[in-house]
Amino acid sequence: MQPSPTALPSVTAGAAGAALAGGPVGVLGAAADEASGDRLPHPRGIWVTGRFDPSPEAVALGSATLLTGPEVSVVARFSRTPRGRDGHDGAPGEQGLAVRFYAGAGEEMDLVAGTLPVFFVRTAADLRAFRLAARSPDPAAVPAFLERHPEAATATALAEASRPAESFTGVAYHAVHTFGLVDAVGRTRWARLSWQPERPLPALDPDAALARPADYLTAGLRERLPARFRLVAQLPCPDDAPALHDPTRLWSQEPARTAVLGTLVLDAVYVPLPGREPRFEVLRLPEGFVAPRDGLAGVTASA
């Protein structure tokens, strides 16, 4: 069963350009600066600690220590991309959740995820091209980019339809890359991973969100802890073969093709020492995981 295009709002190139340039995806264009050492594409964030407990289902799909052993400690960062560091949390933007699993020496893993389930370009070159368009003084630059890159339509439509979050803890976060899970006999299953909140919260009305303090997501996090998320693996259907390693395309939505790999519990806010903040990398993977095969994993490496 393929995702229905009619489920997504219709967005013209002009409207999409505004959504990309001023909303969540425009900020992610900063990921193209990673090679020059720029800071995280999600500039406002808050650090938390907790633990991850693998589920019995995980053993059937994976052999990595974090999926087969006892619970492991984690450090995580919730983040927000509202038009720069001083933007309002209720403005158009994307939330991020980056998690580092500490499963032992050589067994660390980073999982970088955001509230959009797809990305808007396929390659590093396209990401750089969008960055140039978004920073151009020419108002036609972003719409022209979108005309050349119709694959951006799904992410743009979802960004346009998104509404402000009540809390970092009440929304789902998606890793847009496809990871290989290697089981005990060496078989690899490709999957997309997401964090699903145990207590989902309804989105806010945009005007109501903007009436709150500008940093309401970060300021209100402590009172929302502990927060629990399920790590869900979505396995592809046969019809998903053309989109297997394409981060711009949705997969079929069939509940029978999902498995819960474990539970994340985040229970305390902490402040890292200056200059000692963990830097999350999509390609920091332990034995038992196969790296994504798309053209972006090494570029969208921080969150």
Instruction: Please give the Cα distance from 85 to 93 (Å, whole number).
Output: 12
pLDDT band at 84 (very low <50, low <70, confident <90, very high): very low
Which amino acid appears at position 233 of this protein? A
**pLDDT of 127:** 86
| Residue 188, domain member (yes or no) | yes
User: Over 60: is that where the pLDDT of 295 sits?
Assistant: yes
| Residue 16, domain member (yes or no) | no
| Residue 225, domain member (yes or no) | yes
| Residue 17, domain member (yes or no) | no
Q: Which range scores top for mean pLDDT: 83-92, 96-105, 154-163, 249-258?
A: 96-105
Instruction: Please give the Cα distance from 287 to 272 (Å, whole number).
Output: 28
| Residue 12, domain member (yes or no) | no
Average pLDDT on 13-20 reads 46
Q: What is the pLDDT of residues 164-222, one digit of tens each?
A: 999 999 999 999 999 999 999 999 999 999 999 999 999 999 999 999 999 999 999 99
Per the prediction, the chain carries an average pLDDT of 84
In sequence order, what DSSP letters do the residues of 160-223 get, joined into one string?
Answer: HH----S-GGGS-EEEEEEEEEE-TTS-EEEEEEEEEESS--PPPPHHHHHTS-TTHHHHTSGG
Q: Residue 158 is inside which H or E element, if any? A: helix 153-161
**pLDDT of 24:** 36
| Residue 19, domain member (yes or no) | no
Domain range for 29: 24-302
Q: Is the dihedral of CA 32, 34, 38, 44 positive or negative?
A: positive
Whole-prediction pTM: 0.87
Whichever domain contains 197, its CATH number is 2.40.180.10
Q: What are phi and psi of 94, to 5 degrees?
A: -125, 145
Strand partners, 53: 263
Q: Tokens representing 196?
A: 């699903």
Domains identified in the chain, total number: 1
Query: Comparing C-alpha atoms, which of 286, 278, 269, 267 is closest to residue 303?
Result: 278
**pLDDT of 124:** 85
